[in-house]
Amino acid sequence: MPRPVGELAPPSRLLLGPGPSMVHPRVLRAMSIPLLGHLDPDFLGIMNEVQAQLRHVFRTTNVFTIALSGTGSAGMEASLVNLIEPGDTVIVGINGVFGGRMADVVERCGGIPIKIEAAWGKVFDPQQIEDALRHARGVKAVALVHAETSTGAHQPLEGLGALCHRYGALLVVDAVTSLAGVPLETDAWEIDACFSGTQKCLSCPPGLSPLTFSTRALEVVKTRKRKVQSWYLDLSLIADYWAEGKRAYHHTAPISMIYALREALRLVLEEGLEARFARHRRNSAALIAGLATFGCALQAKEGHGLPTLNCVTVPQNTDEALIRKSLLAEFDIEIGGGLGPLAGKVWRIGLMGESSRQEHVMALLSALEQIAGRHKGRKPAGDALTTALQSYASCA
Protein backbone atom coordinates (compact mmCIF):
# COMPACT_ATOMS: atom_id res chain seq x y z
CA MET A 1 0.00 0.00 0.00
CA PRO A 2 1.32 3.50 -0.80
CA ARG A 3 2.06 5.69 2.19
CA PRO A 4 -0.50 8.44 2.88
CA VAL A 5 0.65 11.80 1.56
CA GLY A 6 0.52 14.98 3.56
CA GLU A 7 -1.51 18.10 2.90
CA LEU A 8 -0.54 19.84 -0.32
CA ALA A 9 1.83 22.73 0.35
CA PRO A 10 3.69 23.89 -2.78
CA PRO A 11 6.22 26.72 -2.41
CA SER A 12 5.15 30.30 -3.06
CA ARG A 13 6.76 31.41 -6.32
CA LEU A 14 6.92 34.67 -8.22
CA LEU A 15 5.86 33.49 -11.68
CA LEU A 16 7.71 35.54 -14.29
CA GLY A 17 8.04 32.84 -16.92
CA PRO A 18 6.12 32.38 -20.18
CA GLY A 19 3.08 31.17 -18.23
CA PRO A 20 1.24 30.58 -16.05
CA SER A 21 1.20 34.07 -14.58
CA MET A 22 0.38 35.16 -11.05
CA VAL A 23 -3.28 34.86 -10.01
CA HIS A 24 -5.15 37.48 -7.99
CA PRO A 25 -6.52 36.27 -4.61
CA ARG A 26 -10.03 37.16 -5.77
CA VAL A 27 -9.72 34.64 -8.60
CA LEU A 28 -8.50 31.93 -6.24
CA ARG A 29 -11.40 32.66 -3.89
CA ALA A 30 -13.85 32.36 -6.78
CA MET A 31 -12.57 28.85 -7.44
CA SER A 32 -13.54 27.80 -3.91
CA ILE A 33 -17.21 28.74 -4.36
CA PRO A 34 -19.53 25.68 -4.14
CA LEU A 35 -20.27 23.96 -7.42
CA LEU A 36 -23.45 24.21 -9.43
CA GLY A 37 -24.56 21.74 -12.04
CA HIS A 38 -23.36 22.54 -15.56
CA LEU A 39 -26.99 22.91 -16.70
CA ASP A 40 -28.20 24.71 -13.59
CA PRO A 41 -30.04 27.90 -14.62
CA ASP A 42 -27.84 29.97 -12.31
CA PHE A 43 -24.68 28.54 -13.87
CA LEU A 44 -26.04 29.18 -17.37
CA GLY A 45 -26.49 32.80 -16.30
CA ILE A 46 -22.82 32.90 -15.27
CA MET A 47 -21.89 31.56 -18.72
CA ASN A 48 -23.84 34.43 -20.29
CA GLU A 49 -21.90 36.91 -18.15
CA VAL A 50 -18.57 35.37 -19.16
CA GLN A 51 -19.52 35.60 -22.84
CA ALA A 52 -20.37 39.29 -22.48
CA GLN A 53 -17.08 39.95 -20.67
CA LEU A 54 -15.09 38.10 -23.32
CA ARG A 55 -16.72 40.07 -26.13
CA HIS A 56 -15.56 43.26 -24.44
CA VAL A 57 -12.00 41.99 -24.04
CA PHE A 58 -11.82 40.58 -27.58
CA ARG A 59 -13.34 43.86 -28.84
CA THR A 60 -15.99 42.00 -30.81
CA THR A 61 -19.72 41.62 -31.23
CA ASN A 62 -19.36 37.99 -32.37
CA VAL A 63 -22.23 35.90 -31.05
CA PHE A 64 -19.99 32.85 -30.93
CA THR A 65 -17.59 33.93 -28.21
CA ILE A 66 -16.97 31.25 -25.60
CA ALA A 67 -14.54 29.82 -23.09
CA LEU A 68 -13.56 26.45 -24.53
CA SER A 69 -12.81 23.68 -22.04
CA GLY A 70 -9.09 23.12 -22.54
CA THR A 71 -5.90 25.18 -22.62
CA GLY A 72 -4.83 27.59 -25.36
CA SER A 73 -3.58 24.67 -27.45
CA ALA A 74 -7.15 23.32 -27.46
CA GLY A 75 -8.29 26.68 -28.79
CA MET A 76 -5.70 26.48 -31.56
CA GLU A 77 -6.73 22.98 -32.51
CA ALA A 78 -10.46 23.76 -32.33
CA SER A 79 -10.03 26.75 -34.62
CA LEU A 80 -8.19 24.74 -37.25
CA VAL A 81 -10.00 21.40 -37.15
CA ASN A 82 -13.34 23.17 -37.53
CA LEU A 83 -12.28 25.38 -40.44
CA ILE A 84 -9.92 23.10 -42.37
CA GLU A 85 -10.92 20.05 -44.39
CA PRO A 86 -8.75 17.63 -46.37
CA GLY A 87 -7.20 19.35 -49.38
CA ASP A 88 -7.67 22.90 -48.04
CA THR A 89 -4.71 25.21 -48.48
CA VAL A 90 -3.64 27.26 -45.46
CA ILE A 91 -0.89 29.88 -45.31
CA VAL A 92 0.86 29.61 -41.94
CA GLY A 93 3.31 32.22 -40.69
CA ILE A 94 6.21 30.55 -38.89
CA ASN A 95 8.61 32.76 -36.95
CA GLY A 96 8.76 30.64 -33.81
CA VAL A 97 7.47 27.50 -32.13
CA PHE A 98 3.77 28.23 -32.18
CA GLY A 99 3.44 28.98 -35.88
CA GLY A 100 5.05 25.58 -36.40
CA ARG A 101 2.41 23.98 -34.21
CA MET A 102 -0.37 25.45 -36.32
CA ALA A 103 1.23 24.07 -39.47
CA ASP A 104 1.36 20.65 -37.81
CA VAL A 105 -2.35 20.77 -36.95
CA VAL A 106 -3.22 21.82 -40.51
CA GLU A 107 -1.41 18.73 -41.79
CA ARG A 108 -3.24 16.54 -39.27
CA CYS A 109 -6.52 17.92 -40.68
CA GLY A 110 -5.46 16.78 -44.15
CA GLY A 111 -4.87 20.38 -45.17
CA ILE A 112 -1.94 21.68 -47.17
CA PRO A 113 0.12 24.19 -45.18
CA ILE A 114 2.01 26.78 -47.17
CA LYS A 115 4.68 27.93 -44.76
CA ILE A 116 5.91 31.47 -44.97
CA GLU A 117 8.87 31.94 -42.69
CA ALA A 118 10.66 34.76 -40.94
CA ALA A 119 13.71 34.66 -38.70
CA TRP A 120 12.89 34.03 -35.06
CA GLY A 121 12.20 37.42 -33.52
CA LYS A 122 11.06 39.04 -36.75
CA VAL A 123 7.50 39.57 -38.03
CA PHE A 124 5.69 39.32 -41.38
CA ASP A 125 4.89 42.34 -43.51
CA PRO A 126 1.60 42.54 -45.47
CA GLN A 127 3.38 42.26 -48.82
CA GLN A 128 4.86 38.90 -47.86
CA ILE A 129 1.40 37.61 -46.97
CA GLU A 130 -0.19 39.03 -50.11
CA ASP A 131 2.51 37.49 -52.30
CA ALA A 132 1.73 34.10 -50.78
CA LEU A 133 -2.01 34.58 -51.27
CA ARG A 134 -1.56 35.59 -54.88
CA HIS A 135 0.81 32.77 -55.69
CA ALA A 136 -1.12 29.96 -53.97
CA ARG A 137 -4.66 30.88 -55.05
CA GLY A 138 -7.73 29.34 -53.48
CA VAL A 139 -6.34 29.69 -49.96
CA LYS A 140 -8.83 28.72 -47.25
CA ALA A 141 -7.17 30.58 -44.39
CA VAL A 142 -4.14 32.50 -43.21
CA ALA A 143 -2.93 31.57 -39.71
CA LEU A 144 -0.70 33.96 -37.76
CA VAL A 145 0.61 34.24 -34.21
CA HIS A 146 -0.13 37.67 -32.76
CA ALA A 147 2.27 37.23 -29.83
CA GLU A 148 4.95 34.60 -30.42
CA THR A 149 5.76 33.27 -26.96
CA SER A 150 8.99 31.61 -28.06
CA THR A 151 10.59 34.82 -29.37
CA GLY A 152 8.69 37.76 -27.86
CA ALA A 153 7.75 39.03 -31.33
CA HIS A 154 4.59 41.14 -31.68
CA GLN A 155 2.97 40.66 -35.11
CA PRO A 156 1.04 43.68 -36.46
CA LEU A 157 -2.44 42.63 -37.63
CA GLU A 158 -4.07 45.86 -38.77
CA GLY A 159 -5.37 45.50 -42.32
CA LEU A 160 -4.56 41.80 -42.61
CA GLY A 161 -8.15 40.63 -42.23
CA ALA A 162 -9.27 42.83 -45.11
CA LEU A 163 -6.30 41.60 -47.16
CA CYS A 164 -7.22 37.96 -46.56
CA HIS A 165 -10.86 38.59 -47.42
CA ARG A 166 -9.93 40.15 -50.77
CA TYR A 167 -8.49 36.76 -51.67
CA GLY A 168 -11.40 34.80 -50.20
CA ALA A 169 -9.40 33.58 -47.20
CA LEU A 170 -10.13 33.59 -43.48
CA LEU A 171 -7.77 35.11 -40.90
CA VAL A 172 -7.00 32.87 -37.92
CA VAL A 173 -5.07 34.43 -35.02
CA ASP A 174 -3.23 32.97 -32.05
CA ALA A 175 -3.70 35.55 -29.27
CA VAL A 176 -2.64 33.30 -26.38
CA THR A 177 -0.02 35.75 -25.06
CA SER A 178 -1.70 38.97 -26.16
CA LEU A 179 -5.36 38.98 -25.11
CA ALA A 180 -5.82 41.61 -22.35
CA GLY A 181 -2.13 42.51 -22.44
CA VAL A 182 -1.75 44.39 -25.73
CA PRO A 183 -4.39 45.86 -28.07
CA LEU A 184 -6.40 43.24 -29.96
CA GLU A 185 -9.22 44.47 -32.20
CA THR A 186 -11.08 41.40 -33.44
CA ASP A 187 -13.81 43.24 -35.34
CA ALA A 188 -11.82 46.28 -36.50
CA TRP A 189 -9.03 44.05 -37.86
CA GLU A 190 -11.57 41.62 -39.38
CA ILE A 191 -10.19 38.56 -37.60
CA ASP A 192 -12.32 35.48 -38.30
CA ALA A 193 -11.10 33.06 -35.63
CA CYS A 194 -9.16 34.14 -32.56
CA PHE A 195 -8.14 32.02 -29.61
CA SER A 196 -6.28 32.63 -26.36
CA GLY A 197 -5.53 31.02 -23.00
CA THR A 198 -6.57 31.94 -19.49
CA GLN A 199 -3.15 31.54 -17.85
CA LYS A 200 -1.34 34.41 -19.55
CA CYS A 201 -2.50 38.06 -19.50
CA LEU A 202 -5.89 37.18 -18.03
CA SER A 203 -4.08 35.84 -14.91
CA CYS A 204 -6.43 32.94 -14.43
CA PRO A 205 -5.26 29.35 -13.88
CA PRO A 206 -4.75 27.29 -17.06
CA GLY A 207 -7.68 25.23 -18.25
CA LEU A 208 -9.84 27.37 -20.55
CA SER A 209 -9.31 28.83 -24.00
CA PRO A 210 -11.26 32.01 -24.82
CA LEU A 211 -12.36 31.68 -28.43
CA THR A 212 -14.33 33.84 -30.85
CA PHE A 213 -15.54 33.11 -34.41
CA SER A 214 -16.90 35.62 -36.91
CA THR A 215 -20.11 35.03 -38.85
CA ARG A 216 -17.95 34.26 -41.89
CA ALA A 217 -16.04 31.58 -39.99
CA LEU A 218 -19.21 30.04 -38.56
CA GLU A 219 -20.64 29.75 -42.07
CA VAL A 220 -17.57 27.74 -43.07
CA VAL A 221 -18.17 25.41 -40.12
CA LYS A 222 -21.84 24.99 -41.03
CA THR A 223 -21.13 24.17 -44.67
CA ARG A 224 -18.40 21.57 -44.14
CA LYS A 225 -18.51 18.55 -46.44
CA ARG A 226 -17.64 16.11 -43.65
CA LYS A 227 -17.81 15.99 -39.87
CA VAL A 228 -15.11 17.64 -37.82
CA GLN A 229 -12.43 15.03 -37.02
CA SER A 230 -12.62 15.81 -33.28
CA TRP A 231 -15.94 15.17 -31.55
CA TYR A 232 -14.88 17.00 -28.40
CA LEU A 233 -13.74 20.12 -30.26
CA ASP A 234 -16.61 20.18 -32.79
CA LEU A 235 -17.80 23.77 -32.44
CA SER A 236 -21.12 23.03 -34.13
CA LEU A 237 -21.91 20.85 -31.10
CA ILE A 238 -20.31 23.12 -28.50
CA ALA A 239 -22.22 26.10 -29.92
CA ASP A 240 -25.52 24.54 -28.84
CA TYR A 241 -24.30 24.35 -25.24
CA TRP A 242 -23.22 28.00 -25.16
CA ALA A 243 -26.17 29.34 -27.19
CA GLU A 244 -28.71 31.09 -24.99
CA GLY A 245 -32.07 29.38 -25.38
CA LYS A 246 -30.60 26.01 -26.49
CA ARG A 247 -28.13 24.80 -23.87
CA ALA A 248 -27.91 21.30 -25.31
CA TYR A 249 -25.66 19.00 -23.27
CA HIS A 250 -22.24 18.43 -24.83
CA HIS A 251 -19.79 17.90 -21.98
CA THR A 252 -19.50 18.74 -18.30
CA ALA A 253 -18.01 22.21 -18.18
CA PRO A 254 -15.20 22.92 -15.66
CA ILE A 255 -17.46 24.87 -13.29
CA SER A 256 -14.77 26.23 -10.98
CA MET A 257 -12.67 27.42 -13.91
CA ILE A 258 -15.65 29.34 -15.30
CA TYR A 259 -16.03 30.97 -11.88
CA ALA A 260 -12.34 31.87 -11.94
CA LEU A 261 -12.49 33.31 -15.45
CA ARG A 262 -15.52 35.42 -14.58
CA GLU A 263 -13.61 36.99 -11.68
CA ALA A 264 -10.42 37.41 -13.72
CA LEU A 265 -12.40 39.22 -16.42
CA ARG A 266 -14.03 41.42 -13.75
CA LEU A 267 -10.53 42.49 -12.70
CA VAL A 268 -9.58 43.24 -16.31
CA LEU A 269 -12.66 45.36 -16.89
CA GLU A 270 -12.35 47.16 -13.55
CA GLU A 271 -8.83 48.23 -14.49
CA GLY A 272 -9.82 49.11 -18.05
CA LEU A 273 -8.13 47.75 -21.16
CA GLU A 274 -6.24 50.92 -22.06
CA ALA A 275 -4.88 51.30 -18.52
CA ARG A 276 -3.94 47.63 -18.54
CA PHE A 277 -2.07 47.95 -21.84
CA ALA A 278 -0.20 50.99 -20.49
CA ARG A 279 0.77 49.10 -17.32
CA HIS A 280 2.24 46.27 -19.37
CA ARG A 281 4.22 48.73 -21.53
CA ARG A 282 5.50 50.65 -18.50
CA ASN A 283 6.74 47.60 -16.62
CA SER A 284 8.29 46.06 -19.72
CA ALA A 285 10.20 49.24 -20.50
CA ALA A 286 11.62 49.36 -16.97
CA LEU A 287 12.58 45.68 -17.08
CA ILE A 288 14.34 46.02 -20.43
CA ALA A 289 16.19 49.14 -19.22
CA GLY A 290 17.37 47.32 -16.11
CA LEU A 291 18.40 44.18 -18.00
CA ALA A 292 20.42 46.27 -20.45
CA THR A 293 22.87 47.01 -17.64
CA PHE A 294 23.73 43.29 -17.63
CA GLY A 295 24.22 43.27 -21.40
CA CYS A 296 20.82 41.82 -22.29
CA ALA A 297 18.93 42.97 -25.39
CA LEU A 298 15.56 42.17 -26.90
CA GLN A 299 15.51 39.18 -29.22
CA ALA A 300 12.58 40.57 -31.22
CA LYS A 301 13.00 42.96 -34.10
CA GLU A 302 13.23 46.57 -32.93
CA GLY A 303 9.77 48.04 -32.50
CA HIS A 304 8.10 44.61 -32.42
CA GLY A 305 8.89 43.38 -28.91
CA LEU A 306 6.07 42.14 -26.71
CA PRO A 307 5.56 43.96 -23.41
CA THR A 308 3.86 40.83 -22.09
CA LEU A 309 6.67 38.36 -22.90
CA ASN A 310 10.15 39.84 -22.84
CA CYS A 311 12.56 37.57 -24.71
CA VAL A 312 16.09 38.84 -24.09
CA THR A 313 19.52 37.64 -25.07
CA VAL A 314 21.64 36.25 -22.26
CA PRO A 315 24.82 38.17 -21.29
CA GLN A 316 28.00 36.82 -22.82
CA ASN A 317 29.86 34.08 -20.93
CA THR A 318 26.80 33.40 -18.78
CA ASP A 319 25.48 30.02 -17.71
CA GLU A 320 21.87 31.03 -18.21
CA ALA A 321 20.42 27.76 -16.87
CA LEU A 322 22.44 28.08 -13.66
CA ILE A 323 21.14 31.60 -13.09
CA ARG A 324 17.56 30.45 -13.66
CA LYS A 325 18.09 27.66 -11.15
CA SER A 326 19.54 30.14 -8.64
CA LEU A 327 16.57 32.46 -9.10
CA LEU A 328 14.18 29.61 -8.38
CA ALA A 329 16.09 27.97 -5.54
CA GLU A 330 17.21 31.10 -3.69
CA PHE A 331 14.61 33.72 -4.55
CA ASP A 332 11.53 31.70 -5.56
CA ILE A 333 11.43 33.52 -8.90
CA GLU A 334 10.63 31.64 -12.11
CA ILE A 335 11.72 32.83 -15.55
CA GLY A 336 11.85 30.80 -18.76
CA GLY A 337 14.67 29.65 -20.99
CA GLY A 338 14.79 29.59 -24.76
CA LEU A 339 13.09 27.09 -27.06
CA GLY A 340 14.39 25.49 -30.24
CA PRO A 341 17.32 27.38 -31.77
CA LEU A 342 17.14 29.93 -28.93
CA ALA A 343 17.77 27.32 -26.21
CA GLY A 344 20.61 28.50 -23.98
CA LYS A 345 20.69 31.90 -25.70
CA VAL A 346 17.73 33.80 -24.24
CA TRP A 347 15.58 34.28 -21.19
CA ARG A 348 11.83 34.55 -21.59
CA ILE A 349 10.45 36.81 -18.88
CA GLY A 350 6.70 37.10 -18.63
CA LEU A 351 5.14 40.28 -17.32
CA MET A 352 1.55 39.23 -17.88
CA GLY A 353 -1.51 40.33 -15.96
CA GLU A 354 -0.86 40.11 -12.22
CA SER A 355 2.81 39.35 -12.89
CA SER A 356 3.21 42.77 -14.51
CA ARG A 357 3.87 44.83 -11.38
CA GLN A 358 6.64 47.28 -10.53
CA GLU A 359 7.48 45.38 -7.36
CA HIS A 360 7.95 42.19 -9.41
CA VAL A 361 10.27 43.93 -11.88
CA MET A 362 12.35 45.30 -9.03
CA ALA A 363 12.44 41.95 -7.22
CA LEU A 364 13.78 40.19 -10.31
CA LEU A 365 16.41 42.83 -11.02
CA SER A 366 17.50 42.84 -7.39
CA ALA A 367 17.88 39.06 -7.41
CA LEU A 368 19.85 39.15 -10.66
CA GLU A 369 22.18 41.80 -9.24
CA GLN A 370 22.83 39.68 -6.16
CA ILE A 371 23.56 36.62 -8.28
CA ALA A 372 25.75 38.59 -10.68
CA GLY A 373 27.63 40.23 -7.81
CA ARG A 374 28.36 36.88 -6.22
CA HIS A 375 29.53 35.33 -9.48
CA LYS A 376 31.83 38.25 -10.19
CA GLY A 377 33.14 38.38 -6.63
CA ARG A 378 31.86 41.86 -5.90
CA LYS A 379 28.94 43.46 -4.16
CA PRO A 380 25.89 44.30 -6.26
CA ALA A 381 26.29 47.68 -7.93
CA GLY A 382 22.59 48.54 -8.05
CA ASP A 383 22.84 49.82 -11.63
CA ALA A 384 19.91 47.72 -12.85
CA LEU A 385 17.61 48.93 -10.08
CA THR A 386 18.62 52.55 -10.57
CA THR A 387 18.10 52.35 -14.32
CA ALA A 388 14.70 50.72 -13.92
CA LEU A 389 13.59 53.40 -11.44
CA GLN A 390 14.69 56.08 -13.90
CA SER A 391 12.52 54.41 -16.53
CA TYR A 392 9.54 54.49 -14.19
CA ALA A 393 10.18 58.14 -13.36
CA SER A 394 10.23 59.05 -17.05
CA CYS A 395 6.77 57.46 -17.45
CA ALA A 396 5.26 59.29 -14.50
pLDDT digits (tens, 9 = 90+) for 19-34: 999 999 999 999 999 9
Are residue 240 and residue 379 in the same domain, yes or no?
A: no
* CB-based contact 346:314 (threshold 8 Å): yes
Q: Is residue 228 part of a domain?
A: yes
In this structure, the answer to whether residues 162 and 288 fall within a common structural domain is no
Q: What's the pLDDT at 96?
A: 96
Q: In terms of domains, do 249 and 331 share one?
A: no
Confidence of residue 330 (pLDDT cuts 50, 70, 90): very high
CATH number of residue 191's parent domain: 3.40.640.10
> Per-residue confidence at 188, pLDDT binned at 50, 70, 90?
very high
Q: Answer whether residue 278 shows pLDDT above 60.
A: yes
What average pLDDT score do residues 127-136 get? 97
Q: What is the pLDDT of residue 380?
A: 53
Question: Does the pLDDT of residue 301 top 70, yes or no?
Answer: yes
Is residue 141 situated within a structural domain? yes
Q: What percent of the chain has pLDDT over 90?
A: 91
- pLDDT of 377: 52
The residue out of 243, 269, 295 marking a domain boundary is: 269
pLDDT at residue number 376: 55
My answer on whether 254 and 190 are in the same domain is: yes
In a domain, 15, yes or no: no
Instruction: Give the pLDDT confidence of 334-373 residue by residue, as tens digits.
Output: 999 999 999 999 999 999 999 999 999 999 999 999 998 8
Question: What are the φ/ψ torsions at residue 378 (nearest 5 degrees)?
Answer: -140, 165
Q: Among 241, 269, 297, where does a domain finish?
A: 269
- Residues 368, 326, single domain; the answer is yes
Domain check: are 289 and 312 in the same one? Answer: yes
- Do both 77 and 215 map to the same domain? yes
Q: Is the pLDDT confidence value at 396 over 80?
A: no
Give the type of residue at 37: G
Domain that includes residue 261, residue range: 25-269
- Give residue 266's pLDDT: 98
Are residues 382 and 287 part of one domain? yes
Same domain, 204 and 307: no
Domain boundary among 269, 302, 319: 269
- Same domain as 257, residue 316: no
Is 19 part of a structural domain of the chain?
no
What are the Cα distances from residue 144, in Å, to 228, 276, 293?
22, 24, 34
Domain count, the chain: 2
CATH code of residue 382: 3.90.1150.10
pLDDT tens-digit profile of 2-18?
778 899 999 999 999 99
Chain mean pLDDT for the chain: 95
> Do 259 and 288 belong to one domain?
no
205-262: per-residue pLDDT in tens?
999 999 999 999 999 999 999 999 999 999 999 999 998 878 888 999 999 999 999 9
Give yes or no: residues 339 and 391 share one domain: yes
Asked whether residue 3 is domain-assigned, the answer is no
C-beta of residue 347 within 8 angstroms of C-beta of residue 324:
yes
Domain for residue 121, yes or no?
A: yes
